[in-house]
Amino acid sequence: MGVMRIGHVNLRVMDIDAAVKHYENVLGLKTTMVDKAGNVYLKCWDEWDKFSLILTPSDRAGMEHMAYKVEKDADLDTLKEKIEAWGVKTTLLPEGSLPATGRMLQFNLPSGHEMRLYAMKEYVGTDVGTQSPDPWPDGLKGAGAHWMDHILLMCELNPPEGVNTVAENTRFMAEALDFFLTEQVVAGPDGSIQAATWMACTTTPHDIAFVGAPTSGLHHIAYFLDSWHDVLKAADVMAKTKTRIDVAPTRHGITRGETIYFFDPSGNRNETFAGLGYLAQRDRPVTTWSEDRLGSGIFFHTGDLVPSFTEVYT
């Protein structure tokens, strides 16, 4: 029983045609369906479920909800009890509330972000199949992203109730959903404030991350690439397509990932992310970064914070 991995993210976009063009031609996703409400569903070539990204037409950017996949449908009932025992209200959405998806457990994190859990989504297979497959398919567009890798959420540090929602989200994910902490940034004179956390439910350095901010929102969704070379190629694709780049290719100290950050046409931040970083395990010691080393933690090469990276999000 438990959460296996990230399943999908539902983004709001202000120009659906421009957004679809971006995710297809820059990142290399494929549209798998469009529903009656005009929502567009897309997947990466190395994903086997029907979609990992939903684009919803809107007058503002940001995230509608994120969803993580659990192993069995019965896990939803067990997790419902655990989540509600933690003090979080849940709603069970019936099968078909999202196309091609089974029933979902819906709730909000302490930071206010909407999260859903589900066990079933229509299987369509990867673009290379399972029988003696090629290492990659022909006809890839753009960066050729393999799969959606993780999400980073901005969490209000001082809401009216005075709760550190980074710490509360972290505690909730560990106690209710069995994620484990891999890295953290601590602040304050005695390092007692948990200002940012990275958490895993798989063996990668993070499947979700939380960073303190003036208000809650979405910082980025990330897509996996094989190597540093692929990150550089992704940057070339962005330059050729006049995609707005936020941070040019570099390395994180935190997670050790190789990265480039950029924006979709509505201003939602994307990342292409490469490198294992390290093998995340429950018994691996938590890596802690002090406030004075935050620059190197985020951008290891220069150690300098890019203002837009922490100040701009949706």
Q: Which two three-digit tokens encode residue 140?
A: 């890839």
What secondary structure letter does DSSP report for 293? G
Active-site residue flag, 271: yes
Q: What is the C-alpha separation between 8 and 50, in angstroms, rounded? A: 10
Active-site residue flag, 252: yes
Using DSSP, state whether 178 is helix, strand or coil.
Answer: coil
Active-site residue flag, 278: no
Catalytic annotation, pick one of 8, 220, 223, 313: 220
Catalytic annotation, pick one of 23, 41, 68, 261: 261
Q: Which two three-digit tokens encode residue 243?
A: 């995609």
Catalytic annotation, pick one of 47, 206, 258, 313: 206
The CA–CA distances, whole Å, from 18 to 264, 266, 272 equal 9, 9, 19
Q: Which two three-digit tokens encode residue 191?
A: 């390092």
Catalytic annotation, pick one of 118, 252, 258, 313: 252
Catalytic annotation, pick one of 150, 219, 223, 258: 150
Active-site residue flag, 22: no
Q: What is the C-alpha separation between 200 and 181, in angstroms, rounded? A: 7
Q: Which of 295, 296, 239 is nearest to 262 (CA)?
A: 239
Using DSSP, state whether 68 is helix, strand or coil.
Answer: strand
Task: Specify whether the CB–CB gap between 70 and 60 falls below 8 A.
Answer: no
Active-site residue flag, 68: no
Q: Which of 152, 135, 309 is nearest to 227 (CA)?
A: 135
Q: Which of 73, 36, 25, 71 is nearest to 240 (CA)?
A: 25
Q: Which two three-digit tokens encode residue 71?
A: 């192993």
Q: Which two three-digit tokens encode residue 40?
A: 């567009």
The count of residues in the chain is: 314
Catalytic residues: 150, 206, 220, 252, 261, 271
